[in-house]
Amino acid sequence: MKTLYLDAFSGISGDMFIGALLDLGVDFETFKNELSKLKVKGFALSAEVISKCNIYGTNFDVTLDNGEQKDKGYIEERHNHHHGRHLNEILDLIQNSDLNDSIKNHAIAIFMDIGKAEAKVHNVPIDKVHFHEVGALDSIVDIVGACIAIELLDVDKIICSPISDGKGFINVAHGRMPVPVPAVAQMLIDQNIPIEQQNDIHTELLTPTGLGIVKEFVNEFDSFNKNYDIQKIGYGFGKRDTGSFNALRVYVLTNSLSSKTVVSSADEVVSIEANIDDTTGEILGNTMTELMDAGALDVYFTSIQMKKNRPGIKLSVLIEPTDFDKFVYLIFKNSSTIGVRYQTLNRIKMNREFEKVEVRGNFIRVKVLTYKDIRKKTVEFDDCLKVAKQTGRTFEEIYLEAQTKIKDM
């Protein structure tokens, strides 16, 4: 499973998000072709690889045909741009475009979220909200473009770090406002989104557009998980001079728990169990995926008979003791159970390290397991599958070739 991790140490805005995904490898020409389906003219796009603090990343910009460029700040300068639109105009623009339904639905949801917040803070009906900032053409491009970039990146899950924001005041269309601006503050109500205020940065880092993207796409908030392998890293630069490195760093990750070297033969784990009789197989499958992606050591189901002879399923999850609170939360969130039981178990496991064999010009990892005088070797399934796809051979052919080679190790 491919996961996108947002490291929002300097906040997040729409252009930072798009720049970061382009830096990961989203094809810019494909991105522009998709965005042209919005059927809106009057702007040009640029994506330039530049250096900030001697770190290279991508600076994404929208330049309007009148020469205005979104390079003076996220919001406070936009009240000079007279390109505002009402919410219904924006929704019609998106709905009548040639974009696919998934992109349309995500973009509309983001605008509705921001629109509700603006309506509340200005005490007007939502259809009367005039988007001085996010209704501007460049910000329509940011929101729709973010939805396009996510689809092109094709990840299975998005995790975000705690989001940094500054403090102090900024100038917006309605005057001088505190950070976070009222719309952002309103959008955070009843949301379990961790915000870390940076007292030494006297400006805005988290914009309504950035927060709207986060609320629409992020599956969970967590610190960087040690159970993932980093595949790629990208940087999307912001436009502000904050006095520090102003960028959104993003990672493409794959789950790597089974690829970790193990050098200890004894440890403790926590077993969490729950009996479930009111769910579907599809929901249980998703529960297992969410728990394994979060770093569970193992997840499995057992068929059981419950009260009144009802058939049910026992969910069992093995985890590291330090992850207990996290997994109790995830079990309640991703299953229908209303209670769990748990116990600490002593465990003895074989030591684990990795070697490699070469098959048809590609390296395949071999898991080497030892305990006292016992030694076992197994070929990594994912590596064999990858080589099979690259070479056009069947999985069985590659697996058998790898098995033959490990006999001589």
Give tens-digit pLDDT for 96-146: 999 999 999 999 999 999 999 989 988 888 887 776 544 567 789 999 999
Phi and psi dihedrals of 122, rounded to 5?
-100, 0
Report the pLDDT value the prediction gives residue 77, as an integer from 0 to 100.
35
Specify whether the CB–CB gap between 27 and 154 falls below 8 A: no
Phi and psi dihedrals of 185, rounded to 5?
-60, -40
Q: How far apart are CA 376 and CA 372, in angstroms?
A: 11
Specify whether the CB–CB gap between 118 and 159 falls below 8 A: no
Q: How far apart are CA 220 and CA 20, in angstroms?
A: 19
- H/E stretch holding 342 reads strand 341-348
Which residue's structure tokens are 């116990």? 343
pLDDT (tens digit, 0 to 9) for every residue of the chain, 409 residues total?
Answer: 689 999 999 999 999 999 999 999 999 999 999 999 998 888 899 999 999 988 999 999 998 776 555 443 333 333 344 456 788 889 999 999 999 999 999 999 999 999 999 899 888 888 877 765 445 677 899 999 999 999 999 888 899 999 999 988 887 766 788 888 889 999 999 898 999 999 888 888 999 999 999 999 998 898 887 667 788 999 999 988 788 899 999 999 887 655 566 666 788 999 999 999 999 999 999 999 999 888 899 999 999 999 888 999 999 999 999 999 999 999 999 999 999 999 999 999 898 888 889 998 888 989 999 999 999 999 988 889 988 988 889 999 999 999 998 877 7
Residue 178, CA distances (Å) to 118, 146, 191, 203, 207 in order: 15, 26, 20, 9, 13
Residue 36, CA distances (Å) to 45, 61, 69, 109, 118 in order: 11, 16, 19, 20, 28
Report the pLDDT value the prediction gives residue 76, as an integer from 0 to 100.
33
What pLDDT, in 10s, does the model give residues 202-237? 888 999 999 999 999 998 898 887 667 788 999 999
Report the pLDDT value the prediction gives residue 263, as an integer from 0 to 100.
65
Report which of 213, 186, 38, 238 is spatially closest to residue 111, judged by C-alpha positions. Answer: 213
Report the pLDDT value the prediction gives residue 66, as an integer from 0 to 100.
64
Provide Rg for the chain, Cα atoms.
Answer: 25
Report which of 186, 197, 177, 188 is spatially closest to residue 79, judged by C-alpha positions. Answer: 177
